[in-house]
Structure formats: structure tokens, C-alpha cells
Chain A
């Protein structure tokens, strides 16, 4: 938890005084409250799951949670950048569909798989770049520009193929989903990890470094705080906003690689609604949709909350799958209400 505090270097935050006690510290770091709440709910869900269903806090469940949500974590990290600047990226789900369908088709056509993987990531970057250029140079609103890219990517994916495209069994891309046993537990209870999970972890670490330890990251926060002031301060607003969409697009490409490798197939309807999941994860993690406040690690927790929720629903068995989206909506509502309460207290 101490790591989280050290990231809070926004100019508005006040250094906590040593003699203040926890209440005072919390007052100085009200911006962290939603993220803490997300963490708390995550822990509460784990405890509840452990008591009600059991076998939650065990190596295999944790491994599966990470493996199955690696792509969502990567997407949420990308969206955190965009949302921090006050923008939005609706195109990520569709970009995954196009990138993965194109990737599988090219691999099966005999292209060098490593080259294809790079190409899949670059496809994402390209969509991000187009969104960024439309937004920055042609004054198109982020919602509309990324909506256009969403439609474009989904339409192109559908033109490529409308049936599930299977990745060949011997394709090296599947190697990204190889399960390495870190701890060989009893029976199937092993702590396993895949290159996909490692990629997600690396993405998170790089994003944390970028946002909290570099000039670029501070500019991102500054733009979210007030774009006008940032421009007046002489910050590179134009290039930063462009980069933010390129990053989001690139990470969508990375997520496409990780997801395709795990699933071993791709389809034009892959990733429908994932942009909403990623936005929800980001918001649950404490990032304000208006921009300027939030944490990458919060978004990771948000993504894991959504993932764990699915695990619990599956475990319960009594909850009908239809209600999943209702629960997601409910959790989202609780978190934004919390943010709202925090925001109003801060204004006082």
C-alpha cells in the first residue's frame, strides 16, 4: 500500500504530517479513497468467496484469474491514460477483433508468426494514431472519433471473416499461452503463469513508471486537470494527447495478441462490449471520467474485481448468467457514488 502512496505526486496533494494520524493522512489523500475502496471491495469479495464457496484463495484460482483477465488488465491500463486526459476510447474492443482476425489469417497464410505479432500490435497503434489525429488536428470529439474507429475496425474484421478462425496447433503464437508451473501444488492446485500474464505485468509496470515518474505522465495528469492551463504553461499538449491514443491503441493490439494466444482462435465478434468493461474497470479503480485523477494500479484492481465477480458468479451456480450485467452495473454505480461523495467532500 505504501507503493500506492508514493505515486501520489499530483501538485495538489499536501505532504502528510507525521503527527497527524490516519484521519489526517486520509484527508490529505482523499483522491486515493476510491482506489482504496476498490481494493477493499476486492478483498471483501475474496473473503466472501472463500467463506461461501471455498477454494478461492488457492493457487489455481488465482492463476486462472490472472490468466483469464490479462487482456482486460492491458485494456484498462490503456484506457487509464486516455481517461486521465479527459478523453475516451471506444475503439479498443473492435480493434482487438480486427487485429486478432488479421493476425490469425496471416499466420495461417504462412507468414512469420513473430512478424505477425508485431504487426498485430502495430495495427492497434495505427487505429490509435488515426483517432488521435482526428481528435487533435480536426477537432473531432474523442467520443465520435473513437466511435468511428470502433465501427471501422469492426467492419473490417467482418470483411476479413465472419466465422471463427482457428490458429494452427503448432503456431508459435500459442506459445504465449504456455503454462509454466511456478509452484507445483497438490493435484491440480499449481501456481501457473503464462507469458501473457507476464506481458500484462510488464505493461502495468511500464505504465506506472510512465505516469508517475516521467514528464510525459505529469503532462497527462495536467491535461486532465485543465487543458487550457497546460497549454498556457507550455506543456506539449498536442503531442501528449496524440501519444495517449496511440498508447491505448497499441495496448489494444497487445491485448489482441495475448487473448488470441490464449483462445487459439479469433472471430469478428470478439471483444464486443470490452471497451465498456475496460471503462468500468478504470472507473471502479478510482479514475475520474473527467480526467486528472486516478491510478493505473487502481484500474488493475478494477479489472480484477470484474474478473473475480465472474468467478464468484460461476462458483455460485445459483445466480443466473443473465444477471451478470446487472451486477456489473450495480458495482459500477456503487463506485461512482463513492467517487461522487469524495469529490463533494473535497470541494468543501
Chain B
């Protein structure tokens, strides 16, 4: 039966097997729902005044930037067989540090202050990521618990930093990171895309990605193969922390306020979802950065769609739950077998011959 399969059917079959295929389908369906509601939903127009692109799709991509950052970091962590629950809290710590700094600097136009705030935020992300890394790789704690400690302590730390206030600050260059435009495209989007590409090249063009997968698949074999587990784990958790720091900057710069109880709250769950939707197993091992990007975009699309349809945003989780359950079921072996059994009797040639009827 294999030789009767035409080339497009084979491609279709291969596409069906890619783990994030259903993620793309889900995004398309959500966009379709939006188009049905408002036929002009997908329109992207150029603002004549400044040449910037505006439209719902651009909004979705912009909203996806922070979650894209933490999802990429999460993907690497999960590939090592770990998990990073602390990213949401790292986001709020970074945001709090940046806002406190800019508030104290009181230099609304200083590029230098914005740069310093950015670096400070990233540095705090890196430090908290390093704490995770030390707890996991040197002390040997379970990733779930080590990052849970930082999840709990991080939000408290942010509250201590801002003394429980939702600190606001004004600094145009810092605001520009989240709200500005460059060559007609949102800066935050360009930034996110650049970082994703850089991480992708780094892990896939070097042996780094392979080594990460190796310790995720079989730590013992990886050790025998001479992979330095400790430093690799440190690298991965610090990378996740840095990316969370950047996400924190994105999230706070758009409103120039850090909301200590809501910034980044439960975003770690969204990031883990994005990774799983993208076809990376929580058990570790092979990871799929492209799929993670699809997952992050799906979550951003879902968030925007629920709001667009006029449903209370506090009900969004229910829709996320439906998406997770459906995607997990589609990826599960049992359901696939069910489909196969249904098709199997009689129809030996699935592609060409059955279609004419």
C-alpha cells in the first residue's frame, strides 16, 4: 500500500505526524472564529502617519512576546528532564527591579537609564536562574521543588523590593522596548524573534542542543559519554532565568508599572503548556523549539480571541483547558489507534482510490 500513496498524501501524512500540527490547526480555527465574528479581523493596515503596521494579528504577536521568551527557556529546561516553575516570579522580580530603578533614577528621557534598568532586570533573572541551577545541579534537588521555592520566594522578594507597592515609573526609551516601532514593526516582536532565532541557532548549530537532549534522555549514559551535566544544567537554568527577566521587562515596559501580585502570575503554566503543545515531552529528551513557538502563539491567540469574543477574561482558563485536553487526546496513542481501527477494515488503499467516490 505504500507505493500507491501519492507524494502529497505522504507529505500530508508526515505533516499529521508532526507534533505541533494540531497546534497550527487550533490557531487557524481560532482565527477563523474571529473572522466569522468580524470579517475584517485579519486585516493589517499601515498607519499612514508613521508607516507602522497595525491590526489584530500584530497585536497577537506583540502579546505573544513575553510568553515566547519564557516558553523558549522552559523548552530547554524541560528537555533536560526538569521543569522551571519560577519563571513567572522571576518576571515580577525583574519588573520590580527595573521599575524601582527607573523610579529612583527619575530620568524620563535617558537612554542610559533604560539600558541600565534592562541590564539590571536581566541580571536579577540570571541570579535567580543560577539559584535554581545550583539547587538542581549541585545540591541535587528535584527541579519541581527547587523552582517551587523560587516561585514562592520570588513573588515575596518582588513585594519586598517595591515595599508592597505597584511601582510606576516614566522613561520613554524603556517604554519604547514594549510599545515602540522599528521599520514599521513592533520592537518587542523583532526583539523576541531575534532572541528565539539566536537561541535556536545556538542549540541546533552547536552540540549544545544534542547534549541537553542527552541528559534529558538518559543522565547516566550522558555522563558516560563525557557530558558535563552540572555545568549544562546551570547553563540551562540561567538561560531560563535570563529569558524570564527579559519577559519581565516586556511585561512591565508596556504599561510602565509593575503589578506585584499580577505581573507574570501563573505564566509558568502557560509556558509549560506552550512547550507541551509544541510536542516536547515533559519527561525530557527531544525538544522542539519550533513547536514551542507555535504553542506560545496558540496561547496568545487564545487569550486575544476570548477577549475579542466578549467573554470575561477570567473565564479564559476554561478555554485553555479545552484546548489542552483536545490536543492531548489527539496526541495520545489510544485515540490514534481508535482512528486507525475505524479506517482499517476494507480500505487498504487510503489515498487515491477512496477519494473519487
Which A residues fall within an 8 A CB radius of B? 88, 94, 134, 137-141, 143-145, 147-152, 154-156, 158-159, 162, 268, 276, 279-280, 283, 289-290, 320-330, 332-333, 336-337, 340, 344
Contact = CB atoms under 8 A, between A and B. Distances in A.
Contacts of A154: 317-318
Interface in B135-174: 135, 139-142, 144-146, 148-153, 155-157, 159-160, 163-164
B333 A326 contact: no
B269 interface: yes
A159 B146 CA distance: 34
Contact of A325 (B144, B155, B333): B155
A3 to B, nearest CB: 28
B314 to A, nearest CB: 4
Contacts of B273: 144, 147
Q: Which 4 A-B pairs have the closest CB atoms?
A: A155-B318, A329-B153, A152-B321, A322-B159
B228 to A, nearest CB: 21
A71 B253 CA distance: 39
A132 to B, nearest CB: 14
Contacts of A333: 135, 149
Q: Is the interface of B mostly helix, strand, loop or mixed?
A: helix
Interface stretch (B32-40, B181-189, B288-296, B322-330): B322-330
A213 to B, nearest CB: 29
A320 B160 CA distance: 9
A155 B317 contact: yes
B282 A144 contact: yes
Interface of B: 83, 135, 139-142, 144-146, 148-153, 155-157, 159-160, 163-164, 269, 272-273, 276, 281-283, 312, 314-322, 324-325, 328-329, 332-335
A326 B153 CA distance: 4
A329 B146 CA distance: 9
Contacts of B152: 276, 280, 325-326, 328-329, 332
A217 B70 CA distance: 39
Contact of B156 (A147, A152, A162, A323): A323
Contacts of A268: 314
Contact of A156 (B151, B272, B318): B318
A149 to B, nearest CB: 7
28 contacts: A134-B328, A139-B332, A139-B334, A144-B324, A145-B328, A147-B324, A148-B320, A148-B328, A150-B269, A151-B317, A154-B317, A155-B316, A155-B318, A155-B319, A158-B312, A158-B317, A159-B315, A159-B318, A162-B312, A276-B151, A280-B152, A289-B145, A323-B156, A323-B159, A328-B152, A330-B149, A332-B148, A337-B139
Given A152-B325, A276-B148, 18 more contacts: A134-B328, A134-B329, A137-B334, A144-B276, A145-B328, A147-B324, A148-B325, A148-B328, A152-B318, A154-B318, A155-B314, A159-B318, A279-B148, A336-B141, A336-B146, A340-B139, A340-B141, A344-B140
A134 B314 contact: no
Given A151-B317, A151-B321, A290 B142 contact: yes
Contacts of A276: 148, 151-152
Contacts of A140: 328, 332
A141 B272 CA distance: 12
Nearest to B313: A158
A248 B325 CA distance: 20
Contacts of A322: 156, 159-160, 163-164
Given A325-B156, A336-B141, A144 B164 contact: no
A333 B146 CA distance: 7
A332 B149 contact: yes
A326 B325 CA distance: 34
B81 to A, nearest CB: 12
Contacts of A152: 317-318, 321-322, 325
Nearest to B135: A333
B30 to A, nearest CB: 16
Contacts of B146: 336
A326 B318 contact: no
A325 B83 CA distance: 20
Contacts of A155: 314-321
Given A158-B318, A276-B151, A326 B324 contact: no
A151 B324 CA distance: 10
B146 to A, nearest CB: 8
Contacts of A134: 325, 328-329
A314 to B, nearest CB: 16
A342 B141 CA distance: 12
A141 B324 contact: no
A323 B318 contact: no
Given A138-B334, A280-B148, A289-B145, A325 B324 contact: no
A307 B149 CA distance: 18
A323 B163 CA distance: 10
B272 A143 contact: yes
B317 A289 contact: no
A201 to B, nearest CB: 28
A323 B155 CA distance: 9
Contacts of A326: 152-153, 156-157, 160
Which of B152, B157, B318 has most chain A Cβ within 10 Å?
B152
A148 B160 contact: no
B144 A289 contact: yes
Contacts of B320: 148, 151, 155
A165 to B, nearest CB: 15
Nearest to B85: A276
Contacts of A280: 148, 152
Given A138-B328, A336-B145, A149 B335 contact: no
A157 to B, nearest CB: 9
Contacts of B317: 94, 150-152, 154-155, 158
A325 B160 contact: no
A279 B315 CA distance: 25
